[in-house]
Amino acid sequence: MRTITDAYTGTLPYSYEKLGNPAGLLFFDIETTGLSARTSQLYLIGCLFTDGASFRLHQWFAENAADEPAVLTAFHEYLQALPPGVLLLHFNGNGFDLPYLRQKYERYKQPFLLDSFEHMDLYRSIRPYKAVLGLASLRQKAIEEYLCIDRTDPFDGGQLIAVYEEYLATHSPLGLKALLLHNDEDVRNMPKLLAALNLDDYMKADYTLSEQTLHAAAALDGSSRTELLVSLQSPVSLPRPISLRLDCGVYLTAAKQRIRLAVPLCEQTLKHFFPNTKDYFYLPDEDRAVHKSVGVFVDPGHRQKATKENCYVKKTGVFLPCPDGMELSEESCVVFRRERKEKGFYLEWETNEENAALLFNSAFWNAYVHAMWKCRR
């Protein structure tokens, strides 16, 4: 078995306090010749311990198949020597590394200490934001690319199986370098992935409205339309810019601590649906619903019981689109839709004091942006 160590200083891109002020952070990753612990070999364990300022790397490498239990024993002894209260961090360790190691330790009748640690799976923490970030993949390398983290290693874990098999036959120094480098960069880059945790803080933060203006914009068909341009300030900074668009035409761009919205204001005819259909009649001749207290005076031949689909009134005006899932009490304002089951809704845009009190405030736009995040999760 070969043991490699290295020490260096650095900084974390995420608050140590937000991680619970642990006694230390231990990042780890394993390399194997397959996915099954029963039929494949564990040939490398790498880990990186930090207190937030100093970093110490350890790697235990199996020079041959017979070294596998020695690698497991060395890692076990290392874990035993750690202070209590260390937080274990990994990338998709819940899905692979931890169950794989558990089976290996059971096979060699060695204690499995990793269950005694509190741990965080960085993969699962980042996964909810795949769509928001526009990531095609959630591989560690893909997230590193998004965060602009440098990497020299050109291989993935699967490609290294052949490299390790060749190393067993030749003990090539170049093969050894490639095997160690891949694991080295996996564990060295994991602390840098903590920057992505700022996404969660950013998207749950309370934003402050800083500016709201009307703007004449050109539509794709060459016509002009009015947009509401909204700027908000976040107390948390984004590691990388984000942009997204909803089907209703709302654009969001976010960079560092600034969020900008471009919300189209469109003149159209929409429907307001009443929730308690049993209290309404539908008037086919007028294509609208009326309360029964009024409908009783309508000729029975020109009225019918309202259903969920026709219990509405129509209105033509200028409307502001709101994202699906936006938390806004329908009792406090009248919402409109094209059809009852349409995702999202519309608010009538009226420049009066009541409307200004609703729309020209941070609480409304907080709910608006948070709903947009949810639409892309």
Q: Which residues contact 220 (CB under 8 A, 6 or more apart)?
A: none
Long-range contacts of 373-377 (CB under 8 A, 24+ apart): 373/132, 373/203, 374/323, 374/324, 374/325, 375/246, 375/323, 375/324, 375/325, 376/131, 376/132, 376/244, 377/128, 377/129, 377/131, 377/132
Q: What is the pLDDT of residue 354?
A: 64
281 has pLDDT over 80: yes
* 106 in any annotated domain: yes
Q: Count the domains in the chain.
A: 2
Residues 105 and 43 occupy one common structural domain: yes
Closest CA to 26 of 4, 45, 3, 42: 45
Residues 316 and 352 occupy one common structural domain: yes
Burial class (CB within 10 angstroms; exposed 0-12, middle 13-18, buried 19+) of 83: exposed
Residue where a domain terminates, one of 180, 201, 222: 201
Indicate which CATH number applies to the domain containing 148. 3.30.420.10
Residues 112 and 133 occupy one common structural domain: yes
Q: What is the pLDDT of residue 371?
A: 92
Query: Helix 197-204 and helix 362-375: axis angle, to 10°?
Result: 140
Q: What is the pLDDT of residue 158?
A: 86
Residue where a domain terminates, one of 166, 186, 201: 201
For the four alpha carbons of 192, 124, 146 and 161, in that order, the dihedral sign comes to positive
Residues 217 and 182 occupy one common structural domain: no
| For residues 278-292, average pLDDT | 96
Percent of the chain, pLDDT > 90? 77
Average pLDDT taken over every residue of the chain: 92
pTM of the model: 0.82
Residue 297's CB is within 10 A of a number of other CB atoms, namely 8
* 294 in any annotated domain: no
Q: What is the pLDDT of residue 132?
A: 86
* 257 in any annotated domain: yes
Domain that includes residue 228, residue range: 205-274+311-375
Q: Among the ranges 220-229, 261-270, 321-330, which has the highest mean pLDDT value?
A: 261-270
Residues 74 and 26 occupy one common structural domain: yes
Residues 209 and 188 occupy one common structural domain: no
Min mean pLDDT across 22-26, 179-183, 194-198, 270-274 is at: 194-198
Q: 302 in the Ramachandran plot: left (φ > 0), alpha (ψ -120 to 50) or beta?
A: alpha
Q: What is the pLDDT of residue 333?
A: 78
Residues 31 and 160 occupy one common structural domain: yes
Residue where a domain terminates, one of 179, 201, 223: 201
* 285 in any annotated domain: no
Confidence of residue 352 (pLDDT cuts 50, 70, 90): low
| For residues 141-147, average pLDDT | 93
* 65 in any annotated domain: yes
Residues 188 and 269 occupy one common structural domain: no
Residues 176 and 266 occupy one common structural domain: no
Closest CA to 126 of 112, 114, 137, 115: 137
* 293 in any annotated domain: no
* 306 in any annotated domain: no
Residues 215 and 197 occupy one common structural domain: no
Residue 141's CB is within 10 A of a number of other CB atoms, namely 15
pLDDT in tens, 296-342: 999 999 999 999 999 999 999 999 999 988 887 655 678 999 999 99
123 has pLDDT over 90: yes
Q: What is the pLDDT of residue 225?
A: 81
Q: How far apart are CA 20 and CA 92, in angstroms?
A: 21
86 has pLDDT over 90: yes
Residues 67 and 139 occupy one common structural domain: yes
Percent of the chain, pLDDT > 70? 95
Min mean pLDDT across 61-65, 162-166, 237-241 is at: 237-241
* 292 in any annotated domain: no
Residues 55 and 71 occupy one common structural domain: yes
| For residues 240-265, average pLDDT | 93
